[in-house]
Amino acid sequence: MLKTKNQLDQLRDLTTVVADTGDIDAIARVRPVDATTNPSLLLKAAALPAYAPLVDAALAQAQGADRAARVADACDRLSVAIGKRILEIVPGRVSTEVDARLSFDTDATVRKAEHLVALYADAGVMPDRILIKIASTWEGIRAAERLERAGIQTNLTLLFAFEQAVAAAEAGAFLISPFVGRITDWYKARGEVPATPDEDRGVQSVRRIYAWYKRHGFQTVVMGASFRNIDQVRALAGCDRLTVSPDLLEALAKETGELPRALHDDGERAAAPSRIGEAAFRWGLNEDAMATEKLADGIRNFAADQVKLEAVLGARL
């Protein structure tokens, strides 16, 4: 008699599963294809005993004209070292994030991305195993466009508005990360509690983007992110990729009921509308209070955790 697959295994049949963590032990347990990191996850990882040798090595190798530059370089080296360690476990890619404080500076974002890729190359990791994570500001999307043309693939993160998704696809970004749970959080704080996953605003956002990408033939990968519960994950089964925290992946592994496909590419195609310009992008974002607030909040929080990480490493430099 065949053993019934749990829902995590069923999800793997429908979607590429990515682990949203920097915890090596957790990644080994849930066996994702890819993994994503961000400054908040790196800050947590840096405190884990398993990463102590990586922290020591990053500090020893740090370079720069002054103390601030050496601290920044140590952070980059630690980020790359953790990414390399993750790639020893996952068969696919790791996403490594650019400093959120560069979110409104296209040139600086490109330079930082190139530096991270160079550090990975020095560590023996080729670009085809890396995604550079960049906030989905207008400037960040322009940086992603330049990087993609140079052969550096990108993950546009902190994506909340449809206009961000359109601009990202038109820029040729390899992947976008629409934040399901943070969208839901914003509406819940204002009294809108979805009765079913189908009514969840975060789920609806990803479904709309997925359908639009497929209909207009864009190759940019849609990777739902920032989940609050397994119902949200199940409601997006069939999405190109889903990046999920280890605790939710382990919860899915305990569920044995049928997990049906929720997202389908119906095969219908249509010409894409005219390219979105900067004015339309900024106006659309401005008119979406949720997206405006959550994008700004996300950048601030990631920047704050980057500062905390620098403080931790700086104290030991």
Quick check: is 2 in a domain?
no
Number of domains in the chain: 1
| Domain around 216 | 7-314
pLDDT above 50 for 133: yes
Contacts of 293 (CB under 8 A, 6+ apart): 186
Tell me the sheet residues that pair with 57.
Answer: none
Percent of the chain with pLDDT over 70: 99
Quick check: is 172 in a domain?
yes
Quick check: is 1 in a domain?
no
pLDDT tens digits along 273-306: 899 999 999 999 999 999 999 999 999 999 999 9
**63 falls in which pLDDT band (50, 70, 90)?**
very high
Asked if residue 237 lies in contact with residue 260, where contact means CB atoms within 8 angstroms, the answer is: yes
Quick check: is 62 in a domain?
yes
The CATH number of whichever domain residue 46 belongs to comes to 3.20.20.70
Mean pLDDT of 126-134: 97
- Structure tokens, 43: 């800050």
Alpha-carbon distance 137 to 11, whole Å? 31
pLDDT above 70 for 208: yes
Active-site residue list: 133
pLDDT above 90 for 222: yes
Quick check: is 262 in a domain?
yes
Residue 173: predicted pLDDT: 98
Residue 2: predicted pLDDT: 56
pLDDT tens digits along 245-281: 999 999 999 999 999 999 999 999 999 889 999 999 9
Residue 1: predicted pLDDT: 45
Mean pLDDT of 195-221: 97
pLDDT tens digits along 16-60: 999 998 888 889 998 999 998 888 888 888 888 888 999 999 999
- Structure tokens, 103: 């979110």
